[in-house]
Chain A
Amino acid sequence: MEVLRVEDLRKSYRGLEVLKGVSFSLSEGEILAILGPNASGKTTLIKSILGHVIPDGGEIFVMGKSTKEGEGYRRYIGYMPQEPDFPENLSVGELLELLSSVRGQEPSRSRELIELFGLSPFLDKPFGRLSGGTKQKVSALLAFCFDPPLYILDEPTSGLDPVASVRFKSLLIRERERGKAVVLTSHIISEVQQVAKRVLFLLEGRVRINAGVEELLSESGEEELERAIIKLLGEER
């Protein structure tokens, strides 16, 4: 089943075209890595899916619902931002309560995730007293606990310690096996190779590569995804 479809997405900022007709789709059980150099349009693409940026043209469908129909589609999304930033004086428990009330859903997986990331001792502590890594774990908890069909993860492992990072990647693979769809951005391409099934490479606002990881490796004859991408881009030129 198709979870996400982006059709001819266009966006300009003050006359500068950032997305020049991006199209792709994502089915359940797929992990898609969005890659590209700085200013390639990755962030704008993710922001458009979340509704933070209002596209100039094109359309986005999440679980068959157009994002133009209002904010209701966001109940199908679990989002993990690059830099978790929460109100300093409130606790994880209070934030879970708020999100649960605005989504009208119970955080059905919170217990399992709290255990996985070892968050129990921090539940009642104000965010201002949590370390960067712990905040990132809380951010993961918030994204996954409502069990939505689509996860959007922006540099998810950037603040995690090695142990948490390994656990997080195992969690992603389990989610993929459970039929969840994941959109992921990361600077660490080796990490992408471990979890992602497909790569969407953006360059100057256009999709340059939209292919499976295995396919990319076999086509290029390389063992590393990073080299495969460089080789394919080089051949195109």
Chain B
Amino acid sequence: MRLLGLTLFDFKNLVRIKALWAYAFFLWAVGGVFLYLSGDETKVLLSLLSITLLIVPLVSVLFSITHLYDSANFIKLLLSQPVKRSEVLLGKFLALSVFLSFLFLLGVLPAVLRFRGEAFLLLVLSGFFLTFIYTALAFLIGVFFEEKARGVSVALILWLYTALIHDGFILSVIYLFGDYPLERVVIGLTLVNPVDLARLLVVLRTDVAALMGLSEAVFKEFFGSGFGSFLSALSLILWAIVPLLLALWRFRRKDL
């Protein structure tokens, strides 16, 4: 009950932050432009997916970590009450990740309602996963780094690497070691990046998987689209849970 109370309290605060609604509006506007420019389901899906893979992690990690640092004094006030540390942190996590997921859903809703396909539902699901994962990662960074400037920098570097640089790294590996069988290496490299996993979750269920890149083609070939989707969803769940548990573990032992 205390956890629910803390979550709802934070939720109320987040709902009233006007700047956050701009996130939903941005996604909604971009989705609208894609729908206007092309009525083709696959093109709209892939365009929205690219935006989702770039923007959702950025907004989630950056907003969550700044919100966490800015709440430090209030967290201390709450922890002067008969409340467990884990309840306070978990309440904040749930409020942030659920509200950011809700805003994401609002933003992509026009496209989802227009096409109503399985792939669009998977797009929504991958957006939810990314929101929970990058909020959890922000919390993990936030409880390990005392200084806000340092924590935010680490969060940005993490986003930059997972959203942009990691794919370049995979390509370099393929380019440099093209003469060797690389399937297992590529699968391993994909599993360590939540953005790639979220992409897989959506594209494996479409006809364009083979066109998207080597990791998608390898996954489809190795696991088939059904098991491949299951494996990527499972890995995404772990990506959200493990950093969150680590953050809770650290927070319970930390001097505030």
Contacts and interface: CB of A to CB of B under 8 A. Distances in A.
A94 B12 contact: yes
B79 A51 contact: yes
B76 to A, nearest CB: 6
A83 B77 CA distance: 10
A75 B82 contact: yes
Interface residues of B, number: 26
A102 B2 contact: yes
Interface in A61-87: 70-75, 77, 79, 81, 83-87
A194 interface: no
B79 A50 contact: yes
Nearest to B15: A89
B74 A85 contact: yes
A90 B15 CA distance: 10
A74 B73 contact: no
A2 B76 CA distance: 26
Interface in B220-256: 253, 255-256
B84 interface: yes
Contacts of B144: none
A109 interface: no
Interface string B3-43: 00110011011001100000000000000000000000000
A50 to B, nearest CB: 5
Contact of A74 (B16, B80, B255): B80
Given A52-B255, A81-B77, A98-B9, A89 B16 contact: yes
Contact of A89 (B13, B74, B253, B255): B13
Given A53-B256, A87-B13, A102-B6, A74 B74 contact: no
Interface residues of A, number: 34
B80 A86 contact: no
A136 B16 CA distance: 23
A103 interface: yes
A103 B80 CA distance: 10
B2 A101 contact: yes
B83 interface: yes
Contacts of B10: 87
A67 to B, nearest CB: 12
Interface string B78-96: 1111111100000000000
Contacts of B47: none
B13 A90 contact: yes
Given A81-B76, A83-B73, A85-B74, A74 B82 contact: yes
A235 to B, nearest CB: 36
A174 B137 CA distance: 49
Contacts of B81: 74-75, 99, 102-103
Contacts of B73: 81, 83-85
6 contacts: A71-B82, A74-B83, A75-B82, A81-B77, A87-B10, A89-B12
Interface of A: 13, 47, 50-54, 70-75, 77, 79, 81, 83-90, 94, 98-99, 101-104, 126, 142, 152
Interface of B: 1-2, 5-6, 9-10, 12-13, 16-17, 71, 73-74, 76-85, 253, 255-256
